């Protein structure tokens, strides 16, 4: 975390504040940060009593932000000096731009891409473009479906219009959910390759029991589809059918009944919370959505890339 903060505070952009949300850590890291950076008035630390998740934790930070732009940055990152300048430069080019993402490179191998933007295909598969490819790929400014929450900037007025992160996501897909709303409101989202951020991907989730992220990945994927897809697409590409196929693989091919049970718990959770999820859907579909159909404009058809790089739900 200290390396991340050091790189951020050394950014060339002249005027910014840093809000560090400590999500109930018990390892003494926040005390270390306080001692190291106590003299820098740009840094404000918010201590939470317990871990309330990535989504809700970011929302706490949003409530204390005062700038026109809000950047979400994981603590397992290191930024290049001009990363912030490049993001702001693109944001100020067009009022229709609602969010942007930095070029994410692997921390342990900077010649390899971690993400050049996230996409969702017609069947609901979420995948990160460029993951594992050479860092010279995707070197042009480009429109994307979703900005990765590891290094994403959003206009503060856009957040006021579409709402912040959905806290029920806790972790995983909360950034895609937010960006889906930004898209539906009519704003564009761009990938900015000149803004370089090095990312130690999944530094937090690798420490967790595998079934914990699997539970949230499954329930959040279902919520993502139920909240944001047009009704005709939701019926045509029924997410439960896709999930049933994955659960069958868990049992018959992977011989992993524990994963099957974890996914079943996630489905039960969604069913129990369906009234609240559907209420959020009504807000999104009736208030945010533009008059024209958005499915063809926002989602991409399945191709080899999406099939090989999709994130298993």
Q: In the prediction, which pLDDT does 287 show?
A: 81
Nearest to 83 by CA among 198, 164, 216: 198
Question: Given this model, what pLDDT does residue 291 score?
Answer: 45
User: Is 229 among the domain residues?
Assistant: yes
Q: Are 161 and 283 in contact (CB under 8 A)?
A: no
Asked if residue 245 is part of any domain, the answer here is yes
Question: CB neighbours (10 Å) of residue 99?
Answer: 28
Q: What is the pLDDT of residue 310?
A: 44
The answer to whether residue 218 is domain-embedded is yes
pLDDT digit of tens for each residue in the chain (313 aa)?
A: 889 999 999 999 999 999 999 998 888 888 999 999 989 999 999 999 999 999 999 999 999 999 999 999 999 999 999 999 999 999 999 899 999 999 999 999 999 999 999 999 888 889 899 999 999 999 999 999 999 999 999 999 999 999 999 999 999 999 999 999 999 999 999 999 999 999 997 655 555 557 899 999 999 999 999 999 988 888 988 888 888 888 888 777 777 888 889 999 999 999 999 999 999 999 998 888 764 445 556 666 554 444 444 444 4
For residue 70, list its beta bridge partners: 154
Q: Is 163 part of any domain?
A: no
Q: How many domains does the structure of the chain reveal?
A: 1
pLDDT at position 36 = 94
- The answer to whether position 181 is within a domain reads no
Contact (CB, 8 A) for 171 and 205: yes
Residue 235 lies in a domain: yes
pTM score: 0.90
Question: DSSP string covering 246-281, please?
Answer: HHHHHHHTS--HHHHHHHHHHHHHHHHTHHHHHHHH
Residue 249: predicted pLDDT = 81
Q: Which of 243, 277, 245 is nearest to 263 (CA)?
A: 243
Range of the domain at 239: 208-311
| CB neighbour burial string for 112-137, b if at least 16 within 10 angstroms, e if fewer | bbbbbbbbbbbbbbbbbbbbeeebee
Q: Is residue 154 part of a domain?
A: no
Q: DSSP secondary-structure letter at 170? A: -
Per the domain annotation, does 120 fall within a domain? Answer: no
């Amino acid at each position: 975390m200290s390396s991340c903060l050091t790189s951020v505070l050394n950014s060339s952009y002249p005027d910014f504040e840093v809000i560090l949300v400590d999500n109930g850590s018990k390892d003494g890291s926040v005390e270390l940060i306080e001692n190291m950076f106590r003299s820098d008035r740009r840094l404000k630390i918010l201590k939470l009593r317990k871990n309330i998740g990535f989504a809700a934790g970011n929302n706490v930070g949003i409530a204390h932000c005062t700038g026109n732009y809000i950047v979400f940055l994981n603590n397992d990152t290191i930024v290049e000096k001009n990363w912030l300048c490049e993001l702001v430069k693109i944001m100020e080019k067009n009022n229709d731009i609602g969010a942007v993402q930095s070029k994410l490179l692997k921390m342990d191998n900077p010649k390899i891409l971690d993400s050049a933007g996230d996409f969702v295909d017609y069947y609901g598969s979420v995948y990160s473009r460029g993951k594992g490819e050479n860092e010279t790929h995707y070197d042009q400014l480009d429109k994307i479906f979703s900005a990765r929450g590891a290094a994403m900037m959003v206009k503060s007025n856009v957040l006021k219009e579409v709402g912040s992160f959905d806290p029920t996501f806790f972790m995983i897909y909360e950034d895609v959910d937010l960006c889906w709303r930004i898209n539906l409101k009519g704003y564009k989202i761009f990938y900015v390759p000149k803004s370089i951020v090095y990312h130690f991907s999944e530094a937090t989730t690798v420490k967790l029991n595998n079934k914990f992220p699997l539970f949230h990945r499954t329930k959040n994927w279902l919520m993502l589809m139920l909240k944001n897809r047009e009704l005709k697409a939701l019926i045509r590409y029924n997410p439960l059918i896709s999930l049933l196929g994955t659960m069958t693989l868990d049992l018959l091919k992977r011989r992993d009944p524990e994963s099957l049970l974890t996914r079943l718990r996630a489905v039960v959770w969604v069913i129990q919370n369906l009234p609240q999820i559907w209420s959020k859907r009504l807000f999104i579909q009736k208030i945010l959505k533009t008059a024209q159909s958005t499915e063809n404009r926002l989602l991409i058809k399945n191709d080899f890339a999406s099939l090989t790089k999709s994130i298993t739900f």
